[in-house]
Amino acid sequence: MTDKPKLNWMNSELVKEGIYNKNVHKQVTAWAAIGNSAAHMKINEFSDIDVKNMISGIINFNATLLK
């Protein structure tokens, strides 16, 4: 693969390999959507609390899965 792997593909592969379950898959997808909306200044698509929860969730995700 010459292009960088896309998040959706990697996320699906991690579920297929049993690294995490479909609920975590959905959460990663939601975080990606919030991050993308923020990057494109679509401020009506997320709140401050969404961003705080995303950051907290990613920190916990990394602490759990990157042992």
Kindly report, residue by residue over 7-63, the tens digit of the pLDDT: 999 999 999 999 999 999 999 999 999 999 999 999 999 999 999 999 999 999 999
Answer whether residue 24 is part of any domain. yes
Q: Give the H/E segment covering residue 26.
A: helix 22-39
Answer whether residue 49 is part of any domain. yes
Range of the domain at 38: 7-65
Answer whether residue 26 is part of any domain. yes
The number of distinct structural domains making up the chain is 1
Alpha carbons 41 and 17: distance in angstroms, whole number = 34
Angle between helices 7-16 and 22-39 (to 10 degrees): 170
pLDDT at 5: 86
Answer whether residue 1 is part of any domain. no
Alpha carbons 34 and 31: distance in angstroms, whole number = 5
Q: Which amino acid is at 51?
A: V
Answer whether residue 2 is part of any domain. no
